[in-house]
Structure 1
Amino acid sequence: MDPSTDPLLFLPAHELQSKLTRKEITSVQLVEAFLAGIERHNHHGRGLHAIISTCPRDIALTRAKWLDEQRQLGHVQSKLHGIPIVVKDAIVTDESLGMPTTVGSHVFASLRARRNASVITKV
Structure 2
Amino acid sequence: MKFVHEDNADKEKNYLHLRRYGLTRPFNWIIDRDRDIFLAGISSMMPERDDEYLLKWKKMYIKVFTKRRWDASDRDECQITALELPRNLGEIFPEMLTVLKVAFISWGFKRVTLLDDAQIYVCDRD
TM-score using structure 1 length: 0.28
Could you say which structure has the greater relative contact order, defined with CA pairs below 8 angstroms and 6 or more residues apart?
Answer: 1
Q: Which has the larger radius of gyration?
A: 1
TM-score using structure 2 length: 0.27
